[in-house]
Amino acid sequence: MRFFPNPLVLILAFSLIVACTKDSSPTGPTESNGPSGETSDLRQFSDSLIAAFKAGQKSKVLNFVSEESKNLIADALNDSSVDMLAFGSALEQRQMVYGSDGYAVYTITVKGASYHVAYAKCGNWQLVR
């Protein structure tokens, strides 16, 4: 008795060979300009916030902060031990923990300590935590 493979198995095997090319491989590397799940407007907000931190411009950083959080963050930025450049660099390496249309939470590491940073969309994206 001869063994004939199931035609369905042959079709599936052929479709895998044809569908997964080097250019469209689901396991191949992809280019990323930020954490997975970020929208372009959220990424643009993050890039602007990072630039303000890395430039050491407290007033520009505060322009990206929600009104509810502005006093708390302004007090923190006035602390002479705050390294704005290190915080900006940490934001570049942020890892998304949660993201939705109106809220995003990231984990960042500054000088070996981990923190959560949150953005909320209240018209525009704002740093809220």
The enclosing domain of 65 has a CATH number of: 3.10.450
For residue 27, is it within any domain?
Answer: no
Please state, in angstroms and rounded to a whole number, the distance separating the CA atoms of residues 9 and 7.
Answer: 5
Residue 7 belongs to a domain: no
In a domain, 16, yes or no: no
Total domains present in the chain:
1
**What is the gyration radius of the CA atoms in the chain, in angstroms?**
22
Does any domain span residue 4?
Answer: no
Q: What domain range includes position 93?
A: 39-127
pTM exceeds 0.85 for this model: no
Give domain status of residue 79, yes or no: yes
CB 109 within 8 A of CB 97: no
Q: Domain for residue 75, yes or no?
A: yes
pLDDT in tens, 65-93: 999 999 888 888 887 667 888 989 999 99
